[in-house]
Structure 1
Amino acid sequence: MSRQDFTPIPSPETISKPREAAFIALMVMTQLLTQAGLAQTVVPGQFISRTMGVAGDAGEISWFTAAFSLGVGTFILIAGRLGDLYGYKNIFLISYVWLALWYMLCGISHYSGNVIFFDVTRFCQGLAYAFATPNSIALLGHFYPPGPRRNLGMALFGGIAPGGFVIGALFSSMFLETTTWPWIFYSGAFVACAMVGLGWLIIPKRIGSPDEGVFDYLGAFTGVTCLVLFNFAWNQGPVVGWDKPYVYVLLIVGILSGVLFVYAEKKAKNPLIPPSVINRDILFMLGCIATGWSSFGIWNFYTFQWGTLILGESPTRVSIQFIPCMIAGMCCSLLTGGVLIRKLPTSAVMVIAMACFLVGSCLMATRPVGQIYWAQMFVSCIIMTGGMDISFPAGVMIMSNRLPKHQQGISASVVATTVNYSISIGLGFAGTVQYYLQKNGASEMKAMRGCFYMGIGLSGLAMMIGLVFLGSQFVFPVPGEKSEPDSDSAPAEDVDGKV
């Protein structure tokens, strides 16, 4: 069957409004659940550490979250390509079956008291979301042609991220106060099973024509090896110290694997990241997203730690303080999809987002102990949300519009890999700062401020990259850049990129 025969059943023109709304909601749920999964150890981390016998060990506690982000960020690189080859809906359903299994095992790890087993289950949960996320985006990107309907779906996908984190934080806090922490993960298994059933019924058939290429095994092996080892070294360093030889040996091997990955991609017939996707502007955009979201990961994790450990507030109270992010996030995403990405150059959109990351990080880093919530933290939450929900939807839309329909999984993979991997790496950087500050006698409060300052440095770097990007677009514009179609009637490209 040719690609032209793969028309979705029902198509965008014939699908009923209730089913279309349910389809979009189901895809957006993947982003909500991913961010909720992140919160599932940010909030109860101190309680879990007591069960696992590592109470007070900041490095081990940060691994609870970093392991999850490592799983998400690393394997997204290949998950989108597998969706292109074997079907986005198939990979979507398999990922949630896998997620249900590892949520159950994560709850059961309570009885083992083994922190390594717990970290492995968190990594495998992240692995499930790594496969679900790009294929959810690809289902939206392939079902709708370029235009307002696709942009709305992408904007909602990005805008739900803060809401997902807040919902995950609130439910985790409720479980902590009413039962034991394993039920946080048992409930996640029930939700994953529901996603399998709903996905089977609601997602239209035949979305996406199978790519006729082959899978790039060498690129996948070298790329995943690079990402895993580089990340592991940075997150393990704060736990055991950088004086341990195996830590920096793994870091070096990871870097060498990255070099091999670049070489393998240049030689591959069907590379994981097609060279046609990457140009100067895309590299600038990904550089902004990587450094900006690294600072967000630090801000997110240590804002909760600050509230519970320094201010002595309950997990529920701290979670409630993040509720304004839900409204601000959705507004920013709709603004991005409806106005910013259509009216402003890519570089200007990224500068706005990076400015939000920088200002939000500065507000939390300088917040005095005992200050009221509304003075700096409330403002920081609103502004930081702007950084998230301007940069992510913009990045996905830009990448999605650069690729033909049968490669939508790749576009989703590139942006989602950058976002989630950067969160994990940012925690590794901050954990290293905290480890050495406390080792040299700094108090817990001063060590946390040092982590916030690390976030300021990363967001400041993001702002510099954004400004260089802005200048380069005006001085040296990239020829032949494709503008975004304004309606759903825009023709889709075929396999050769021809209209």
Structure 2
Amino acid sequence: MNTSAALTLSNDIEKAFNTNSSTASWVLSGYALTLGSFILITGKLADIIGPDNIFLIGLSVIWICSLICACIPHSSVVALIVIRALQGVGASALVPSTVALAANYFTGKLSKYLAPALGGFIIALTGIFGVGVTIGGAFSETSTGYRGFFWFVFAYGLILNIILLFLIILVDRKDGEDKMELKNIDFVAGFLVIAGVLLIILGLTEGAENWRSPKAYISLIVGFFAFLSSLGFEIIYLKRFQRKNQNKDKSTDWRLQVELLFPPEIIKIPNFLPILIQCGMYYATFTMVIVIGINYFTFIEGNTPIIVAIKVLPLPVGLVFGALAYRTSYYNRVGLKNMLILSSAICLGMCVWFSRIDYKSDNSYWKFGFVSLFLYGYGINMFFNIYFSVVVSNTPLHLQGVVNGIYQTCGQVLLSIGNALVPSILGNLEVATTEQAKQKLFNKFQTIFYVVLAFHAVMFLIMVFLVRNHQKENESDDRIDEEDVLGEEKKQDDDCECHVREADSGTESRNSRTNLSYLDARSV
């Protein structure tokens, strides 16, 4: 909600602080910057101090920052950007801790409720996006403007925080978590990750204005190498050192006590890498499509913020509908790979359909926008339902926080790429009032559609060639194990019959002893 509302509040913030669109956009960019940078760290903290604790801390940061944002005077927009960045740190704690909570709550006899619980999470996460866009557009039309939205988030978050202080179910520490301590976090890699992702997202945001700017390409290069350095420090140096000295007393060296941010065992999670790539690309394309819609209806058709919000609403409605309609039986019957291929095919087709929208055509929105946006949201939801279920069910409980942190970090970085590509192609926007200006801007929108289509084509190929239908493999393995057990039982029965025949050929005393042995063997 904090992300989506900023899309339709941007113009009101620009007017209130008497600034330009580029500066006002940092109210959203600063939030996304820290959200994407800290989510991996907060995911690790969820594994150490408990997802219930990290969730409450993150929620508290959000409503406190919203209160401050609502009270900031209009003298400088910088203060608003800084507080929004702090709010993003709090937001980074919510998604990985929420998924980790679900994984911890629904285990054992309650595991059958995990899929519906994640479905509810998807409904909340996707549905509130549409609510945020609408609320942002509505508040921008009132006299309170953007401040009204922050007052709303403050009250909403505070009430939830108070309720959860009494009702949240505490999470017991699991095997593997009892050895985790806050002091053992890899702070070196953590610093490199935060610095790297911050610089990458900063470079992408600056690139939206001018890719030739040193702020853009230098930030990207330095950030990329900083992130690679964090991987090298853990995988090449720390992990090798720990493996080489695994028999030593851990208390003698801090390097033996460090908890890795990127545990090597995460690579063994089925389809970890292809679904990680897909997750990030879905974030990017979803953001691009929604930003395309908002900008198209605003600057070419000249609609008001609330009308724009209503026009793009079918996309989040499709997301919610997909979450409500999804059933685990789809996954079991059709298979992981086929469901993911179907998801990418639907999204690709709907992007082609939506790209046909044209301001010169009568009822263009109803022909090419309304249905295509709805089905596009439905297709995206198919992926996220399966993604959450697969990742949660195949990840050990003590790694839930860090794995979901990795996925969300990838998602936020790719989201920033998508968010930066649209304005980098469109440039500075003003409402087109002449036919020539509209056609020029329309041509730029067509270029963005080609980029989105290219993204979805790559995603489709990844689904087809890299994703493995892990569930079917497990079923075949189970059948093999069952055949082995039956074969072993048959062998034991043959051995028992052999003992009986030997007993019949011996003396009476031997018969009694052998029969006793036979009875013992049969009981075993």
TM superposition score category, shorter chain reference: 0.7 to 0.9
The question of 1:205 aligning with 2:170 is answered: yes
The size of the alignment, in residue pairs, is: 440
What is the match of residue 227 of structure 1? 197
Consecutive unaligned residues in structure 2, runs of 5 or more: 240-257, 431-436, 479-524
Residue in structure 1 matching 2:107, options 145, 165, 180: 145
What is the match of residue 413 of structure 2? 421
The question of 1:277 aligning with 2:269 is answered: no
Give the aligned residue type for 2:356. Answer: T
CA shift at 1:97, angstroms? 1.4
Give the aligned residue type for 1:134. Answer: P
The question of 1:102 aligning with 2:65 is answered: yes
The question of 1:263 aligning with 2:232 is answered: yes
Residue in structure 2 matching 1:443, options 440, 445, 460: 440
Pairs within 5 Å for 1:324-335:
324-335=314-325
- Whether contact under 8 Å (2:72, 2:80) holds in the other structure is yes
What is the match of residue 492 of structure 2? none
The question of 1:167 aligning with 2:137 is answered: no
Residue in structure 2 matching 1:79, options 31, 42, 59: 42
CA shift at 1:481, angstroms? 6.0
Cα deviation 1:264-322 (Å, max 9, x = unaligned)? 23125522232212257211111112122211111112211211221122222222234
Question: Which piece of structure 1 moves more, 136-145 or 306-315?
Answer: 306-315
Instruction: Sort the Cα spacing of 1:261 and 1:449 in 2 relative to 1 into closer, same or farther, 3 A.
Output: same
Instruction: Sort the Cα spacing of 1:469 and 1:275 in 2 relative to 1 into closer, same or farther, 3 A.
Output: same
What is the match of residue 218 of structure 1? 188
What is the match of residue 346 of structure 2? 356
Residue in structure 2 matching 1:238, options 192, 205, 208: 208
CA shift at 1:164, angstroms? 0.5
What is the match of residue 223 of structure 2? 254
- Whether contact under 8 Å (1:173, 1:316) holds in the other structure is yes
Question: Which piece of structure 1 moves more, 185-194 or 275-284?
Answer: 275-284
Cα deviation 1:86-126 (Å, max 9, x = unaligned)? 12111111111111122123233452332x43333333222
Residue in structure 2 matching 1:342, options 309, 332, 335: 332
Residue in structure 1 matching 2:456, options 459, 464, 484: 459
The question of 1:124 aligning with 2:86 is answered: yes
| 3-state SS, counterpart of residue 212 of structure 1 | coil
Structure 2: distance between partners of 1:160 and 1:482: 33
| 3-state SS, counterpart of residue 450 of structure 2 | helix
The question of 1:321 aligning with 2:311 is answered: yes
CA shift at 1:185, angstroms? 1.0
Q: Give the superposed CA RMSD.
A: 2.9
CA shift at 1:336, angstroms? 4.3
Instruction: Sort the Cα spacing of 1:377 and 1:67 in 2 relative to 1 into closer, same or farther, 3 A.
Output: farther
What is the match of residue 66 of structure 1? 29
Cα deviation 1:31-78 (Å, max 9, x = unaligned)? xxxxx11121111212222233344x4x44544433333332221111
The question of 1:389 aligning with 2:381 is answered: yes
Structure 1: distance between partners of 2:369 and 2:82: 33
Instruction: Sort the Cα spacing of 1:189 and 1:298 in 2 relative to 1 into closer, same or farther, 3 A.
Output: same
Give the aligned residue type for 2:395. Answer: L
Larger RCO (alpha carbons 8 Å, 6+ apart): 1
What is the match of residue 56 of structure 2? 93
What is the match of residue 176 of structure 1? 140
CA shift at 1:377, angstroms? 1.1
Question: Which piece of structure 1 moves more, 313-322 or 42-51?
Answer: 313-322
Give the aligned residue type for 1:212. Answer: K
Cα deviation 1:212-261 (Å, max 9, x = unaligned)? 2231212211222221111110111223x233323222211111112212
Structure 2: distance between partners of 1:157 and 1:86: 22
Structure 2: distance between partners of 1:52 and 1:361: 36
Structure 2: distance between partners of 1:484 and 1:133: 34
CA shift at 1:194, angstroms? 1.2
Residue in structure 1 matching 2:150, options 165, 169, 185: 185
| 3-state SS, counterpart of residue 74 of structure 2 | helix
CA shift at 1:148, angstroms? 2.7
Structure 2: distance between partners of 1:200 and 1:446: 53
Identity, % of aligned positions: 20
Instruction: Sort the Cα spacing of 1:328 and 1:251 in 2 relative to 1 into closer, same or farther, 3 A.
Output: closer
Instruction: Sort the Cα spacing of 1:154 and 1:306 in 2 relative to 1 into closer, same or farther, 3 A.
Output: same
Cα deviation 1:409-447 (Å, max 9, x = unaligned)? 123223322333321221112222223999xx9933333
What is the match of residue 155 of structure 1? 119
What is the match of residue 406 of structure 1? 398
Question: Which piece of structure 1 moves more, 292-301 or 155-164?
Answer: 155-164
Instruction: Sort the Cα spacing of 1:206 and 1:94 in 2 relative to 1 into closer, same or farther, 3 A.
Output: same
- Whether contact under 8 Å (1:68, 1:122) holds in the other structure is yes
Residue in structure 1 matching 2:3, options 23, 26, 38: 38
The question of 1:311 aligning with 2:301 is answered: yes
| 3-state SS, counterpart of residue 452 of structure 1 | helix
- Whether contact under 8 Å (2:335, 2:471) holds in the other structure is no
CA shift at 1:400, angstroms? 1.3
Residue in structure 1 matching 2:281, options 283, 291, 294: 291
Residue in structure 1 matching 2:356, options 361, 366, 382: 366
CA shift at 1:327, angstroms? 4.6
- Whether contact under 8 Å (1:74, 1:227) holds in the other structure is yes
Structure 2: distance between partners of 1:38 and 1:50: 19
TM-score, scaled to structure 1: 0.80
